[in-house]
A = this chain, B = another copy of it.
Amino acid sequence: MLNGKVVEPSVHFFEGVEKLLEIWFEDGGNDDCDLRKIPRDDWVTLLKAVKCEIISFSQNDAIDAYVLSESSMFVSKKRWILKTCGSTTLLKSLKPLLELVPNYGFREITDLFYSRKNFARPELQAFPHRGFCEEVEYLDTVFEEGRSYCLGSINRECWYLYTFSKYKKEVSRPRKLDNAEPDQTIEILMQNLDNDVMGMFSKEKFNTGAEVTKATGIDKLLPQMEIDDFLFEPCGYSMNGIAPKGEYMTIHITPESSFSYVSFESNVSMNNYAELINRVVKTFKPGKFVINIFANKASPAYATIKELEVEYAEKTSWKRSNMQYCSFPLYNLLFAQYCQCP
């Protein structure tokens, strides 16, 4: 009872679906420019605006990786990635970040990607995330020439993308391409997962992240990765993996059966992602999943992502219910939705 009103017990829910922001800065070939010089205190302050905290840290010569109370942050010399779930306010990091980076030599963003799947319960989100339109309006206050897209079915399941590129004007044959370093990202966003698998990601079953990483085979997905993992109380799991050349992988698991969600993300370069997708899907056993693969023109994945996806559907029992392929100025993007065959 509160103020004479009966308060209904709220149904337990956690929004596993993450908001994902990836930003590339122009370093002008200057070796002094380095986002990793930003002190931890500044990250802590920035993350407060997002409503999350650092809970673990790992690094190598190429990349700093943070496990957060809600997902992950990766900091390289000139690339910054923030991925947060729940009702965090990820986009509130953008303006503080843009105030911070000039102190470390960066004046300009070359590419920005903001993306997320449709939320399971959008009504629980806070400003500026109460709908993709609101997110786009917020981003448009920072970028004059951003573009927003919706892949998949707007009125069913979909994946939203807002992208800004400094080189947008050199549309079909941008000159900067030859110098660009290869870049690619694969995300596998899984739902309706197997209860037995999800039951593993619980303090009832294991004491530490490391135990569950090994028991579930997460350590075998990309064996070259050095793993920093965390098992939440009473359940839930996050991991970051990093490799010497700046490759990363990150997995976040919301295991509760009524809203189970697992995300896998990595920037590993491959000609063919079919085997990796297969390993991930066999590990987590989703009922349905979406894949998105970005690759720039310097990436080995650039030309082949279309064919790979066709191949994946043909070689497995998964049914592809939708596939969209987009050609942006500097990147190709593949989006595909799969569900289990009956």
Q: Which residues of chain B are near A252, meaning CB under 8 Å?
A: none
Q: Which residues of chain B are near A136, meaning CB under 8 Å?
A: 154-155
A322 to B328, CA, bound (A): 6
- Given known contacts A153-B148, A155-B147, A155-B148, is B313 in contact with A322 (CB within 8 Å)? no
In the complex, chain A residues 290-342 whose Cβ is within 8 Å of any chain B Cβ: 306, 313, 319-329, 339
Q: Which residues of chain B are near A153, meaning CB under 8 Å?
A: 147-149
Q: Which residues of chain B are near A146, meaning CB under 8 Å?
A: 155
7 contacting pairs across A/B (C-beta < 8 A):
A136-B154, A171-B320, A172-B320, A172-B321, A321-B329, A323-B327, A325-B325
Q: Which residues of chain B are near A322, meaning CB under 8 Å?
A: 147, 326-328
- Given known contacts A140-B155, A148-B153, A148-B155, is B323 in contact with A324 (CB within 8 Å)? no
Is A49 among interface residues, defined by CB-CB distance under 8 A? no
Contact assessment for A172 and B327 in the assembled complex, using a CB-CB cutoff below 8 Å: no
Is A150 among interface residues, defined by CB-CB distance under 8 A? yes
Q: Which residues of chain B are near A325, meaning CB under 8 Å?
A: 306, 324-327
Contact with B along A141-183 (1 / 0, CB 8 A): 0000011111011111000000000000001100000000000
Q: Which residues of chain B are near A327, meaning CB under 8 Å?
A: 320, 322-325
- Give me the 5 closest cross-chain CB pairs, A-B, nearest first: A323-B327, A147-B153, A325-B325, A148-B154, A148-B155
Q: Which residues of chain B are near A321, meaning CB under 8 Å?
A: 171-172, 329
Q: Which residues of chain B are near A155, meaning CB under 8 Å?
A: 136, 140, 146-148
Q: Which residues of chain B are near A156, meaning CB under 8 Å?
A: 147-148
Q: Which residues of chain B are near A328, meaning CB under 8 Å?
A: 322
A326 to B152, CA, bound (A): 9
Q: Which residues of chain B are near A324, meaning CB under 8 Å?
A: 324-327
Question: Which has the most chain B C-beta neighbours within 10 Å: A146, A306, A319, A326?
Answer: A326
Q: Which residues of chain B are near A320, meaning CB under 8 Å?
A: 171-172, 327
A39 to B320, CA, bound (A): 43
Q: Which residues of chain B are near A140, meaning CB under 8 Å?
A: 155
A148 to B322, CA, bound (A): 12
